Amino acid sequence: MSTLPHERIDVPLPPRPYTVEIGAGHLGRLSSLLDAAGVGRRRIVVSSPTVWKLHGEAVSAALPDAPVIHIPDGERHKHLKTVARIYDALVTQQIDRGAALVGVGGGVLGDVTGFAAATYLRGIDIVHVPSTLLAQVDSAIGGKVGVNHPLGKNLIGAFHQPRLVVIDPTLVATLPRREFRAGLYEIVKYGMTSSRALFDRVAGSVKDLFKRDPEALQPVIAASCAIKADVVSRDERESGPRRVLNFGHTAGHALEAITRYKRFRHGEAVGYGMLVAAEVAAGRGRLAEADRERLFTLIRRLGPLPAIADLSMDDMIDAMRRDKKVVNGRLHYVLATSVGEHEIVDDVSEGELREALRRVGFRAS
């Protein structure tokens, strides 16, 4: 067990700020953490069969009176039919507005459960207990909830801030290596756009991170959460500064969509998306070759990404045109300008995207 002190990160969003509680062993303290945050006494756990096999006993011990709703997990199940399963259970159990959903699982489960909470009775509380590294550092914070449409990722959704986020770094010990690695790519995103210190810390502790050592994990998790909390508190609904969180996501979401969410973990797609964005920035002379190479080297060190040589540039371009970051016909694109610095532009041409995709390894159409 980690000897590091527990950390608390505030997300000062009006009208109701919330906290992110980070600490090894927090799953066993779940009831007291919910009480301290003023979460209603009627709590309904939502989890997946896979997560429940790993952590269900601990959750049940912490919340012995909470009913449990099981839903399938994974991008293929991130749709309205899965949300309806939650609605059905809540209606059957006569759950009212004083209740809270407690989502225990990865990013997809958190998004789906959060969307159900946002829309059931026009909104009930949601508490996120993320079990994957990617969810701990990204999707559990910020209030974005929703589901996919066959033509695009997260096109149906809402902003619904959690009442509390509880992060226990020891939960990621059960993740398959590929799933764990996917979360590391998301941490690299924060470092590349916003914190050279975080980027350097990841680069300097790859071996310890892959050992799942809480002493190595908790600082990079906390640093990532602090960056996201700061961005979200300044721009809840992505009208400006929050767009930085989409670094790597434009091409990443397109990659997931054209492969029907079956080939790539989200973090892997973001990894490729960061490479594409870096090539765009380097092609404009906005990112030095040394910094571009530092990003490519770190992504390679984290492990192999699935092959893309069979995937078409045309399909990628078409998917990016449908991205939800297109506003008034213009695609807002996040570019890293050095390690720890970024800019947001809306004038990336199709020619620039094609050249970047070619350099990363996509098939010319």
Please indicate, yes or no, if residue 19 is contained in any of the structural domains: yes
pLDDT for the residue 113: 98
Judgement on whether residues 15 and 132 belong to the same structural domain of the protein? yes
The domain boundary, picked from 173, 196, 219, lies at 173
Q: Has residue 65 got a pLDDT over 80?
A: yes
Residue 145: give its domain's CATH number. 3.40.50.1970
The domain boundary, picked from 128, 151, 173, lies at 173
Judgement on whether residues 49 and 144 belong to the same structural domain of the protein? yes
Judgement on whether residues 252 and 165 belong to the same structural domain of the protein? no
- Confidence band for 1, pLDDT divided at 50, 70 and 90: low
Whether the predicted model's global pTM rises above the 0.75 cut:
yes
Judgement on whether residues 149 and 294 belong to the same structural domain of the protein? no
Please indicate, yes or no, if residue 229 is contained in any of the structural domains: no
pLDDT tens, position by position, 282-330:
999 999 999 999 999 999 999 899 999 999 999 999 999 877 666 656 7
Tokens of 299: 């992504």
Judgement on whether residues 55 and 149 belong to the same structural domain of the protein? yes
Do the Cβ atoms of 44 and 99 come closer than 8 Å? yes
Residue 339: give its domain's CATH number. 1.20.1090.10
Count of structural domains within the chain: 2
pLDDT tens, position by position, 209-239:
999 999 999 999 999 999 999 999 998 988 7
Judgement on whether residues 252 and 157 belong to the same structural domain of the protein? no
Mean pLDDT of 79-105: 97
pLDDT for the residue 260: 87
- Confidence band for 19, pLDDT divided at 50, 70 and 90: very high
Judgement on whether residues 140 and 255 belong to the same structural domain of the protein? no
Which residues constitute the domain of residue 290? 247-360
Give the DSSP letter of residue 363. B
Judgement on whether residues 169 and 288 belong to the same structural domain of the protein? no
Annotated catalytic residues are 122, 144, 186, 228, 238, 242, 246, 249, 253, 266
Q: What is the mean pLDDT of the chain?
A: 94
286 three-state secondary structure: coil
Q: What residue type is assigned to position 248 of the chain? A: G
Please indicate, yes or no, if residue 230 is contained in any of the structural domains: no
Judgement on whether residues 130 and 270 belong to the same structural domain of the protein? no
Judgement on whether residues 46 and 148 belong to the same structural domain of the protein? yes
pLDDT tens, position by position, 123-179:
999 999 999 999 999 999 999 999 988 877 788 999 999 999 999 999 999 999 999
Judgement on whether residues 152 and 12 belong to the same structural domain of the protein? yes
Judgement on whether residues 19 and 168 belong to the same structural domain of the protein? yes
Proportion of the chain above pLDDT 70, given as a percent = 98
Main-chain dihedrals φ then ψ at residue 72, nearest 5 degrees: -70, 145
Can you list the alpha helix ranges (DSSP code H) found in the chain?
30-36, 49-62, 80-92, 107-119, 133-134, 177-194, 196-204, 206-210, 214-234, 249-258, 266-283, 289-302, 313-321, 350-360
The domain boundary, picked from 139, 173, 207, lies at 173
Spatial distance between the Cα atoms of 208 and 215, rounded to a whole number of angstroms: 9
Please indicate, yes or no, if residue 240 is contained in any of the structural domains: no
Q: Has residue 122 got a pLDDT over 90?
A: yes
154 three-state secondary structure: strand
